[in-house]
Amino acid sequence: ARSAAPFVPEGADLAALRAAARGCEGCDLYKPATQTVFGAGPPDARLMLVGEQPGDQEDRAGEPFVGPAGKLLDRALAEADLLREGVYVTNAVKHFKFVPAERGKRRIHKTPARGEVVACLPWLHAELSEVRPELVVCLGATAAKAIMGTDYKVTERRGRVEQAGDFRVISTVHPSAVLRAPDRDEAYAAFLADLRTVRDQL
Ligand code: URA
């Protein structure tokens, strides 16, 4: 099976991990992508947020959650009295997976395959070992299944603090799901409620 493991330097700090991740060829997603999008935030953050994978704008900028989903996330974090600056934000998969639009230059997000998530896990595990957050927040099913196992269902377990190995973990929906929801206000309110649960844990 493909894996990032041979590219992850042992005993490296976050800066060295980030630098090494630029050269990752642990799966094929690096080929069409612009660049690796590694996690960002303070190395001593008490909270780590884990998304799915970088989107179109993140792929161009090289930073996680800077596009539309990131804007919604920033707003919700602020409303929940959680400052984005204090949080370490990363993704389960570090390269943007996409298909070209039928016409034009747009690139359409594709959900990563399980094999790609598994291949990328050594980076997430290295980030967790370095940051040692008090609480990990999974944003959506891809992150939740990466950390809690493939049986995990966000719809059934969101908003609940659970123990997963060394870490306390909670899940909520992905901010992109809030943007796409038929009733966006309701979806946003539920997302915010989960982030307030997070805030109350710290
Ligand atoms: N969606 C994600 O899951 N992660 C990002 O960084 C941006 C959008």
- If you average pLDDT over residues 55-59, what whole number do you get? 97
For residue 163 the two structure tokens come to 């123990």
User: Complex ipTM, two decimals?
Assistant: 0.92
Does the pLDDT of residue 113 top 80, yes or no?
yes
Quote the pLDDT of residue 101.
82
CA 163 to ligand 1 centroid distance, Å: 24
Q: What is the pLDDT of residue 29?
A: 98
Tell me the pLDDT tens digit for each residue of 28-50: 999 999 999 999 999 999 999 99
Mean pLDDT check: name the lowest of 32-46, 101-115, 163-177: 101-115
Those residues with Cβ within 8 angstroms of residue 45's Cβ, 6 or more apart along the chain or in another chain:
86, 87, 88, 131, 133
Atom of ligand 1 at shortest range from CA of 142 = 3
pLDDT for 120-141, tens place per residue?
999 999 999 999 999 999 999 9
Closest-lying ligand 1 atom to the alpha carbon of residue 174:
3
- Quickly list DSSP for 68-84: HHHHHHHHHHHHTT--G
Q: Please tell me the least confidently modeled range out of 96-105, 121-130, 150-159, 180-189.
A: 96-105
State in Å: Cα 141 to ligand 1 middle: 13
Q: Select from 94, 79, 73 the least CA-distant residue to 137.
A: 73
Residue to substitute in 63, 65, 98, 147 for testing ligand 1 pocket (most ligand atoms within 8 angstroms of CB): 65
Arithmetic mean of pLDDT, 151-178: 97
Q: Any idea which residue has 């967790």 for tokens?
A: 128
Average pLDDT on 1-10 reads 96
Q: Which atom of ligand 1 is nearest to the CA of 52?
A: 3
Distance 89 CA to ligand 1 centre (A): 10
Give the closest residue to 177 by CA, choosing from 90, 89, 49, 73: 73
DSSP characters over 2-67:
--SGGGS-TT--HHHHHHHHTT--SSGGGTTSSS----BS-TT-SEEEEES---HHHHHHTSSS-S
First to last CA, the chain: 38
Q: Which residues line ligand 1 (CB under 6 A)?
A: 51-55, 58, 64-65, 67, 69-70, 91, 176
Is residue 102's pLDDT more than 90? no
Could you tell me the distance, in angstroms and rounded to a whole number, from the CA of residue 166 to the centre of ligand 1?
25
> Considering just the CA atoms, what is the radius of gyration of the chain in Å?
16
Residue to substitute in 176, 178, 191 for testing ligand 1 pocket (most ligand atoms within 8 angstroms of CB): 176
Mean pLDDT across 134-161: 98
Instruction: Note the pLDDT of residue 193.
Output: 98
Domains and CATH numbers, the chain: 5-201 (3.40.470.10)
Instruction: State the distance from the centre of ligand 1 to the C-alpha of 75, rounded, in angstroms.
Output: 15
pLDDT of residue 88: 98
Span from the CA of 176 to the centroid of ligand 1 (angstroms) = 8
